[in-house]
Chain A
Amino acid sequence: MSKQGGKGGAAAGKAKKPTKAGAEEKGEDVLQAVILADSFQDRFKPFTLETPRCLLPLVNVPVIEYTLEFLASNGVQEVFIYCGAHSEDIEQYIHDSSRWSPGSTISPFSSLEFIRVSDANSIGDFLRDLDKRSIIGGDFILVHGDVVSNIQLDAALAKHRARREENRDACMTVVLRSVGEQPHRAAKARGIIPVFVVDPTTGRCLQYEETHPLQSEHYLSLDPAVFSHGEFEVRTDLVDCGIDICTPDVLALWSESFDYELPRKNFLHGVLKDWELNGKMLYAEILDDGYAARATNLQMYDCISQDVLERWTLPFVPDSNLIHGQTYRRVKGSSYVEDHVVAERGAKVTQSAVGRGTVIQSGSSITGSIIGRKCKIGKNVKIENSYIWDNTVIGDGTTVLHSILAGSVVLGANCQVPAGSLLSYNVHLDDNIQLPSKAPARISLLSDEKQRADNDVSLVGKGGKGALYQTITDEEDSDDEDDTNRDPTILQSSLIYSLEGLNLSTSSISTFVSEDEYDSDDDISLAGSAQADAFGQPRGRLSSFASDDTSKADGFHSDAVHGLVDALRADDSDDFDGAKLEFMGLRLANNASDGAMRRAIAVAFVRRAAELLTPEHGGLEPTKAAAEALTSKNGAVKFVKEVGVGGETVAQQAEFALALQKALIGIKDVEPARAGALLAALLQQLYSLDVLEEEGILAWWADKRAAEGAGSEGLREKCRVLVEWLENADEEESSEEEDGDDEDED
């Protein structure tokens, strides 16, 4: 810190800096802020091909205005803006703004500077550059150019200072907003769920991880150092709004690790992990009131827009008219309307904001939408939950649902724009165009390389302009989330959050929070796994000596069983390959033994079959249930044969049959007689599907392990017929399926 102060004097470049750079106490009187106006992501494409993200209109106000106003309302005086893509546009915008322009006398900031970094590829590059410049005197606020917040940072700043006075290593405070554990639109839109491990007494942040629904591992490993603190909380209910209060030490940390790119995933995670090396302490300030969010993706854009309309963001609401020249008034129907808006008789506007000069003709209804300036909306148009930027023309009778129409879009008459469509600047649709509702269209005039794309006549009609926009995916995932098996940005790239078609089971999303075992004794089971990590033992060995249920193997078992059962239950798809992949992923991640896999598969299929016996699921006969469980999904049988049994040998087959039997004993809600029938039916089914051979079944029959244990007698009794039949078949060589079936059903 003092080092920074000293250097500040030398780095003269700016006229006023040297006066206050000498002593850090002086530097503190002036609150500095750094805005990162580029996030090196593609989530707003195709809109960001033409306009930088922080200038996209959010409720008809460019996003960066919210950020600047947030800083101004917190008394920030010096602002540095780092721009990446479209930096000229952002600079131009700021210079043209009467309020923020650095030369303006009315600017609330005493200085506002742009810093360009020619070869920056990540936020890390920005911050390392900032460290070199030595323009930061004391504590500063680090925000992104897309923050919408009405939080007063006073308390957080004061706490940060107090901590720093006490210990110079307390170098950063992360401001977080708690959003509760219930499903929430802001929380849902995150895609990536940040997991903070926090000491609730001091607010110190101990570990940071990220999870997302697409990852293969549904658990986190806690650092053993975490346990040296008396108390800690693992919190997934936080919205990370990207507001950090930093000391210059933070920049030094960035410089030390030249490969850090992202402020959270790389920096926060890394610094906390290497706490023993760097000795720096980071704190989390968790707020329960106030509003803070980042328009990081289209879903957040959607969510924040609605929050603004509902006034959660007060005073950042349309009728505050924070931008020069805006004249919003609140009118009936919870709407905000600027001057010179013409809504003809019979036009209904509810819970919307409409910009100046827009004409809405009769019979049209607009609900929950934001309409920009100078739009023309024809007769009998229906617009719901959509975002329509300036100068857009919508023809008579058109319907627009939950979509974004960027500036100067022209829609013909009687078009249908279904939910999730994204139409970029200047796209034209001919009359009577119906855009696809499955796989919502993204239409742009430009291709990903910013070339003019050829018009796609089949999509936009003869008189239309624009083509389907396709992203080049392999670029983006190399950027940030490369070590996960699938890129969670898929979840965030569309306007509507959907896991549909992404081939994952619901249980795998919720395992971390809602699964029974974890719910009851969250910390304990996490602790178990963390220690396993700490010992660095191969997990196979671990499970061999720690065969009880708290070990990792248990986590694998429950995850795997849930995943498989869900896949078997799924109504909409006949495909079992996804579940298989997921299972294999789990297996690799947990280093599960063959026995564990066999057990999991047996339990999954038995559970499904037993479920089918119950009246809720059709109350099938045991034979039907067994057949249904095994054969309804393509590839399930193969999966059982290859993975469950795992080989051709008699011993392996016997093991699997034994696993089935044990699994059935574990099923409580089926009476023993039916359970026995089910086991017989399953074995018979597997036999006829060539998964188990008669030698295998006979070996199981002979195995003395199978004979012991409570309840196994009852089960085995029912299988006796099958076994005898198999023994006979062995001798007679010719038997009919019919006989077997008849005998089974006795």
Chain B
Amino acid sequence: MAPSQASHVPTLDGLIKSFNNQSLEASIESLIFLLKRRQVKGDECAKATAYILRQVVAKAKWNDVDQLLSRIASAGSRLARAAPLEPVIGNVVRRVLGLIRDEASEDRNADDIASEAASDIQTLTPATNPSVQPPQRPALPHRPTLSALSSGLQVSKSMFNLLSVAEPGDSPMTGASTPMSQAQPASIHSLRSEVMDGIEEILDEINQADDQIAGFAEIQIHPGDYVLAYQPSRTVERFLVKAASKRRFTVVIAGLEASGAGTEAPYASLRKRLNSAGVKTVNLASNGLMAYIPRVNKVIFSAKAVYQNGGLLVDSGSCIAAQAAHEYLKPVIALCPVYKFCPEDPSDEVSRGELGNPSDYVSYANGPAVGALDVENTVTDYIPPDLVDVYLTNLGPQTQHHLANILADHYKTEDTGFSLQLGEP
């Protein structure tokens, strides 16, 4: 019986389970504190935000689109403030805001065309707003995979998109909202379910992103390659394992923690899986990195966030690997699902990096050192855009110059300034 009750520690899963038992406010507040206590961090943040926003749509009181937008924005900004160094929270909030605006404009279009059935509206939408996520196709992988080379087409699309969206996008905030508020409860109801479906899709996208990225593995990794994986995250692991099923290459795993004797070698499970697929692995201590770079063909790591200038927020240490690779003209591949793209520039805090607990480097039991040293353990790094060669998204590989398209496709211009709206609590 013990294992079943082993853990009392609050987790994201526990929170999601408790959604039905507690009020919306309590759920938001518990997530805020999970974020503040770092009990939810990294990739989990995106999922958590999407779940909470779906709760907001479902449970909060709102009578028209404007109200819904402000509810989402206020809940979202509280979450974003709770974890200022997790920019994906803001991204998901922007995505949801954009989604609502799209649904609202569809509804209005539907009104214009007069009383059509809801299914007709949905068939209509892809034609009018081609880049908006079609909500009625949850089974499809989002966006047929477009290769980077097809971006010429994307540019034209998104240009069109920008104009076409901006025009109606302005109106629902002002004039068009009046008819909306007078709309029948039925349309509110349908909007609610449509938005929730949309959020469900965003969740699917988040969940599937790693697999989709892994789908590009065999294109990126060639037989006989030496691939340096710096602190492989779950995304990178999946990518490598997928590649291992098709290719024979060597993985150099770098960025190991200075672990004491007796502890298990890091990334043991990854190495086991790679080895069983016939891929050789080399464990490399961080300080041996530079020596190995000439031998390596490419460097792979995953990003925590991508900024609009192309800079990356990454786990600490990756910057050194990227810089080393840059010196030797080795390609640097950053794995970054689309939901990690931020339509903003890195803040001062981001470029300085988040500070972790010094106990990773100095033991608290090491008395004199604790008093004598100032240990700054940065847990995140900022990688400037010129060090990154390929951004491998779940939509395919991109270069720095095409990031603007992705941002334009996924976020509304009204929402890009979302973080600026963060006011006083």
In whole angstroms, what is the CA distance A324 to B424 when docked? 11
The smallest C-beta distance from A537 to any residue of chain B, in angstroms, reads 40
CB of A28 within 8 A of CB of B355, answer no
CB of A180 within 8 A of CB of B33, answer no
In whole angstroms, what is the CA distance A241 to B425 when docked? 34
For B1, what are the chain A residues with a Cβ–Cβ distance below 8 Å?
Answer: 25
The smallest C-beta distance from B293 to any residue of chain A, in angstroms, reads 32
CB of B356 within 8 A of CB of A31, answer no
The smallest C-beta distance from A288 to any residue of chain B, in angstroms, reads 7
CB of A179 within 8 A of CB of B355, answer no
In whole angstroms, what is the CA distance A69 to B26 when docked? 16
Contact of A29 among B5, B9, B23 (CB under 8 A): B5
In whole angstroms, what is the CA distance A157 to B26 when docked? 26
The smallest C-beta distance from B163 to any residue of chain A, in angstroms, reads 38
Interface residues of B in 372-425 (CB under 8 A from A): 374-377, 424-425
As a 0/1 sequence over residues 306 to 335 of chain A, the CB contacts with chain B under 8 angstroms (1 = contact) are 000011101100001110110101101010
The SS class assigned to the B binding surface is: loop
Q: Pick the interface stretch among B63-71, B168-176, B262-270, B362-370.
A: B362-370
CB of B371 within 8 A of CB of A185, answer yes
CB of A179 within 8 A of CB of B367, answer yes
Contact of B356 among A29, A311, A330 (CB under 8 A): A311
Contact of A75 among B9, B84, B357, B370 (CB under 8 A): B9
CB of B374 within 8 A of CB of A334, answer yes
CB of A154 within 8 A of CB of B9, answer yes
- Closest chain A residue, CB of each to CB of B369: A182
For B366, what are the chain A residues with a Cβ–Cβ distance below 8 Å?
Answer: 180, 182
CB of B364 within 8 A of CB of A99, answer no
CB of A179 within 8 A of CB of B356, answer no
Query: Is B147 engaged at the interface, CB distance under 8 Å to the other chain?
Result: no
For A324, what are the chain B residues with a Cβ–Cβ distance below 8 Å?
Answer: 425
Interface residues of B in 1-19 (CB under 8 A from A): 1-2, 5-10
CB of B2 within 8 A of CB of A179, answer no
The smallest C-beta distance from B366 to any residue of chain A, in angstroms, reads 6
Number of A-B contacts (CB under 8 A): 119
The SS class assigned to the A binding surface is: loop
Interface residues of A in 164-187 (CB under 8 A from B): 165, 177-180, 182-187
For A75, what are the chain B residues with a Cβ–Cβ distance below 8 Å?
Answer: 7-10
In whole angstroms, what is the CA distance A289 to B363 when docked? 8
Contact of A330 among B2, B36, B349 (CB under 8 A): B349
CB of B367 within 8 A of CB of A183, answer yes
For A105, what are the chain B residues with a Cβ–Cβ distance below 8 Å?
Answer: 22-23, 25-26
CB of A69 within 8 A of CB of B37, answer yes
In whole angstroms, what is the CA distance A105 to B375 when docked? 40
Given the known inter-chain contacts A105-B25, A182-B366, A187-B367, please indicate yes or no for A165 contacting B2, CB distance below 8 A: yes
CB of B38 within 8 A of CB of A325, answer no
Query: Is B223 engaged at the interface, CB distance under 8 Å to the other chain?
Result: no
For A289, what are the chain B residues with a Cβ–Cβ distance below 8 Å?
Answer: 359, 364
Given the known inter-chain contacts A108-B30, A154-B7, A310-B375, please indicate yes or no for A291 contacting B358, CB distance below 8 A: no
In whole angstroms, what is the CA distance A327 to B39 when docked? 20
Query: Is A351 engaged at the interface, CB distance under 8 Å to the other chain?
Result: yes
CB of A182 within 8 A of CB of B375, answer no
The smallest C-beta distance from B362 to any residue of chain A, in angstroms, reads 9
The smallest C-beta distance from B128 to any residue of chain A, in angstroms, reads 42
CB of A320 within 8 A of CB of B36, answer yes
The smallest C-beta distance from A387 to any residue of chain B, in angstroms, reads 18
CB of A184 within 8 A of CB of B365, answer yes
CB of A312 within 8 A of CB of B9, answer no
Query: Is B29 engaged at the interface, CB distance under 8 Å to the other chain?
Result: yes
In whole angstroms, what is the CA distance A264 to B22 when docked? 40
For A108, what are the chain B residues with a Cβ–Cβ distance below 8 Å?
Answer: 10, 30, 33
Query: Is A534 engaged at the interface, CB distance under 8 Å to the other chain?
Result: no
In whole angstroms, what is the CA distance A72 to B377 when docked? 26
Query: Is A735 engaged at the interface, CB distance under 8 Å to the other chain?
Result: no
Query: Is A162 engaged at the interface, CB distance under 8 Å to the other chain?
Result: yes
Interface residues of B in 253-305 (CB under 8 A from A): none
As a 0/1 sequence over residues 133 to 174 of chain A, the CB contacts with chain B under 8 angstroms (1 = contact) are 000000000000000000011100110011001000000000
In whole angstroms, what is the CA distance A489 to B133 when docked? 69
CB of A76 within 8 A of CB of B358, answer no
As a 0/1 sequence over residues 345 to 362 of chain B, the CB contacts with chain A under 8 angstroms (1 = contact) are 000010010011111000
For A180, what are the chain B residues with a Cβ–Cβ distance below 8 Å?
Answer: 363, 365-367
In whole angstroms, what is the CA distance A314 to B375 when docked? 13
Category for how many chain B residues contact A: 35 or more
Query: Is A221 engaged at the interface, CB distance under 8 Å to the other chain?
Result: no
The smallest C-beta distance from B74 to any residue of chain A, in angstroms, reads 15
Interface residues of A in 7-40 (CB under 8 A from B): 25, 28-29, 31
For A165, what are the chain B residues with a Cβ–Cβ distance below 8 Å?
Answer: 2
- Closest chain B residue, CB of each to CB of A77: B8
For A31, what are the chain B residues with a Cβ–Cβ distance below 8 Å?
Answer: 8
Contact of A311 among B81, B349, B355 (CB under 8 A): B355
For B39, what are the chain A residues with a Cβ–Cβ distance below 8 Å?
Answer: 73
In whole angstroms, what is the CA distance A334 to B6 when docked? 38
Contact of B370 among A154, A162, A184 (CB under 8 A): A184
The smallest C-beta distance from A363 to any residue of chain B, in angstroms, reads 24
CB of B357 within 8 A of CB of A321, answer no
CB of B6 within 8 A of CB of A158, answer yes
Most buried by A among B29, B38, B365: B365
CB of A28 within 8 A of CB of B375, answer no
As a 0/1 sequence over residues 23 to 46 of chain B, the CB contacts with chain A under 8 angstroms (1 = contact) are 101101110010011110000000
In whole angstroms, what is the CA distance A483 to B376 when docked? 46
As a 0/1 sequence over residues 151 to 192 of chain B, the CB contacts with chain A under 8 angstroms (1 = contact) are 000000000000000000000000000000000000000000
In whole angstroms, what is the CA distance A321 to B85 when docked? 13
Contact of A178 among B357, B365, B375 (CB under 8 A): B365
In whole angstroms, what is the CA distance A165 to B359 when docked? 34
- Closest chain A residue, CB of each to CB of B354: A330
Query: Is A106 engaged at the interface, CB distance under 8 Å to the other chain?
Result: yes
- Closest chain A residue, CB of each to CB of B22: A105
For B425, what are the chain A residues with a Cβ–Cβ distance below 8 Å?
Answer: 324-325
CB of B25 within 8 A of CB of A106, answer yes
Query: Is A74 engaged at the interface, CB distance under 8 Å to the other chain?
Result: yes
The smallest C-beta distance from A728 to any residue of chain B, in angstroms, reads 62
The smallest C-beta distance from A23 to any residue of chain B, in angstroms, reads 12
For A314, what are the chain B residues with a Cβ–Cβ distance below 8 Å?
Answer: 38, 356-357
CB of B367 within 8 A of CB of A184, answer yes
Given the known inter-chain contacts A165-B2, A311-B357, please indicate yes or no for A185 contacting B367, CB distance below 8 A: yes
Interface residues of A in 325-376 (CB under 8 A from B): 325, 327, 329-330, 332, 334, 339, 351
The smallest C-beta distance from B313 to any residue of chain A, in angstroms, reads 16
Given the known inter-chain contacts A106-B29, A184-B370, please indicate yes or no for A288 contacting B7, CB distance below 8 A: no
CB of A288 within 8 A of CB of B365, answer yes
For A178, what are the chain B residues with a Cβ–Cβ distance below 8 Å?
Answer: 365
For B355, what are the chain A residues with a Cβ–Cβ distance below 8 Å?
Answer: 311, 330
For A184, what are the chain B residues with a Cβ–Cβ distance below 8 Å?
Answer: 365, 367-368, 370-371
Given the known inter-chain contacts A182-B366, A185-B370, A185-B371, please indicate yes or no for A312 contacting B357, CB distance below 8 A: yes
CB of B8 within 8 A of CB of A179, answer no
The smallest C-beta distance from A127 to any residue of chain B, in angstroms, reads 22
CB of A334 within 8 A of CB of B376, answer yes
Q: List 30 A-B contacts (CB under 8 A).
A: A25-B1, A72-B33, A74-B8, A75-B8, A105-B25, A106-B25, A107-B26, A108-B10, A152-B9, A154-B6, A161-B2, A162-B2, A165-B2, A179-B364, A182-B368, A183-B368, A184-B365, A184-B368, A185-B367, A185-B370, A187-B367, A291-B359, A311-B377, A314-B38, A320-B37, A322-B33, A329-B84, A329-B349, A339-B424, A351-B374
In the A-B complex, the 3 residue pairs with the closest CB atoms: A75-B8, A180-B365, A184-B367
Which residues on B are within 8 Å of A, measured CB to CB?
1-2, 5-10, 22-23, 25-26, 28-30, 33, 36-39, 81-82, 84, 349, 352, 355-359, 363-368, 370-371, 374-377, 424-425
Known: A314-B357, A334-B376. 16 other contacts (CB 8 A): A28-B5, A29-B5, A72-B10, A76-B8, A158-B6, A161-B5, A177-B364, A179-B365, A180-B363, A183-B368, A184-B365, A187-B367, A288-B363, A312-B357, A315-B36, A329-B84
